[in-house]
Amino acid sequence: MKNKKEKSTKLWGGRFQQPTEKLVEDFTESVSYDRRLYAQDIRGSIAHARMLGQMGIITEKDSQTIIDGLKKILRDIENGRFSWEKGLEDVHMNIEKALTDLVGPVGGRLHTARSRNDQVATDIRLYTREEIIKIDQLLERLQKAFILQAESYMGIIMPGFTHLQKAQPVLYSHHMLAYFEMFKRDRQRLKDCLKRVNICPLGSAALAGTSYPIDREMTAKELGFAKITKNSMDAVSDRDFVLEFLFCLSVIMMHMSRLSEELVLWMSSEFSFIELPDAYCTGSSIMPQKKNPDVPELVRGKTGRVYGSLMALLTTLKGLPLTYNRDLQEDKEQLFDAADTTSSSLAVMAGLIENMRPNPKRMTQDTKTGFLTATDLADYLVKKGLPFRQAHEVVGKAVANCLSKGKELHELGLQELKKLHPFIRDDVLKIVEVKGSVASRKSKGGTGHEPVKDALINAQKWLKEFKICL
Q: What is the dihedral of CA 166, 145, 189, 138, to 10 degrees?
A: 140
Pairing type for strands 227-228 and 274-275 reads unpaired
Residues 6+ apart with CB under 8 A from 136: 187, 190, 191, 468
Q: What's the pLDDT at 49?
A: 98
Q: Over 60: is that where the pLDDT of 7 sits?
A: no
Torsion, Cα 196 198 202 208, to 10 degrees, reads -10
User: Which residues are identified as catalytic?
Assistant: 163, 284
Q: How far apart are CA 242 and CA 250, in angstroms?
A: 12
Least trusted range by pLDDT, from 105-109, 346-350, 390-394: 390-394
pLDDT of residue 5: 41
Question: Do the beta carbons of residue 122 and residue 333 sit within 8 Å?
Answer: no
pLDDT at 48 over 60: yes
> What structural domains does the chain harbor?
23-112 (1.10.275.10), 117-157+171-365 (1.20.200.10), 368-450 (1.10.40.30)
Round to whole Å and give the CA distance between 433 and 61: 82
Task: Determine the pLDDT at residue 26.
Answer: 79
**392, 381 in Cβ contact below 8 A?**
no
pLDDT for 291 beyond 50:
yes
Q: Decide: 276 and 352 in contact? Cβ < 8 Å.
A: yes
Share of the chain above pLDDT 90, in %: 83
pTM, rounded to two decimals = 0.93
- Residues 155-160 have a mean pLDDT of 97
CA atoms lying within 13 Å on the CB side of residue 286: 0
Using alpha carbons, select from 95, 92, 93, 71 the residue that is nearest to residue 82.
95
Query: What are the backbone dihedrals phi and psi of residue 168, each rounded to the nearest 5 degrees, phi first?
Result: -145, 155
Residue bearing the bigger pLDDT, 288 or 77: 77
pLDDT above 50 (res 356): yes
What's residue 221's pLDDT? 98
- What is the model's pLDDT at position 401? 86
DSSP string computed for 163-228: TTEEEEEEEHHHHHHHHHHHHHHHHHHHHHHHHHHSEE-TT-TTTT--SS---HHHHHHHTT-SEE
Residue 20: pLDDT above 80? no
Give me the helices (H) in 318-433, please: 331-355, 360-366, 374-383, 388-405, 414-418
CA 199 to chain centre: 21
Whole-number average pLDDT of the chain: 94
For position 449, what pLDDT does the model report?
Answer: 96
Residue count of the chain, please give it: 470
Please name the amino acid found at residue 100. Answer: T
The mean-pLDDT minimum among 57-66, 81-90, 181-190, 278-287 falls in 278-287
* Residue 116 and residue 323 in contact, taking contact as beta carbons nearer than 8 Å: no
What is the model's pLDDT at position 8?
A: 53
Rounded to an integer, the average pLDDT of 437-463 is 96
Q: Which residues are bridge partners to 358 per DSSP? A: 274
Low-confidence winner among 43-57, 196-210, 317-331, 398-412 (lowest mean pLDDT):
398-412
CA count, 13 A, side-chain hemisphere, 139: 31
284 vs 406, which has greater pLDDT? 406
CA distances (Å), origin 103, targets 38, 96, 108: 19, 11, 9
Model confidence at 2, pLDDT cuts 50, 70, 90, reads: very low
Backbone angles phi, psi at 190, to 5 degrees: -65, -40
Map residue 386 onto helix, strand or coil: coil
